[in-house]
Amino acid sequence: MRDIPRKGDFASLLDEIIERPVPVEDGMRSFEPLANIPFDYLSVANELHSGRIKVASGSVAAEYSDMAAPEILFDALLAAADQPPMPEPLPIEPELIARELGLEKLNAPRELGRLRREFAFRNHPDRVPAHMRERAIKRMQVANMLIDEAKCRALDAVRSN
């Protein structure tokens, strides 16, 4: 393969690559030049950066939202393929989350802080598949509320003593 001479700009380099002959596979080793495509890459870049090309922000948002739906479904399929199906979704009822947290056993604010971090590590919405994120957000909100209430009760108990 011969060296590509450098002429100083990227557009010249691309023009030379386009004009370079390529092997044709028809049993014999011959060369056929590519069609020369006149194209000024720098003028295209200048046009893109000039600000004269406008795209409505609504259309961009619509494109991204259209593209996000299959991604969420794909994430859900991957999650289902990687893990055995769960018999039931994780609870969002405050009583069940309080039991899961074990709040009746803990009284010290420091222990409650540790409990919050451990629960967040196991249940944070960023750590679950996309199709389970809404439920994880609700679980985190309920758990944080319960832990905050337990901290208030613990502080009130300390103040009253």
Domain boundaries, the chain: 1-54, 56-85, 94-160
Q: Distance (Å, rounded) from C-alpha 125 to C-alpha 90?
A: 12
**Sequence-ordered alpha helix ranges (H) in 39-132:** 41-50, 57-82, 94-101, 109-123
Tell me if 147 sits within 8 A of 103, measured CB to CB. Answer: yes
Q: What is the pLDDT along the chain (161 residues), one digit of tens a residue?
A: 455 555 567 777 777 776 666 565 655 545 555 555 666 778 877 887 887 877 677 776 777 676 666 777 777 777 777 666 654 788 999 999 999 999 888 768 788 888 999 999 999 999 888 888 999 999 999 999 999 999 988 888 888 87
Three-class SS state of 20 = coil
Taking the whole predicted model, whether its pTM rises above 0.75 is answered as no
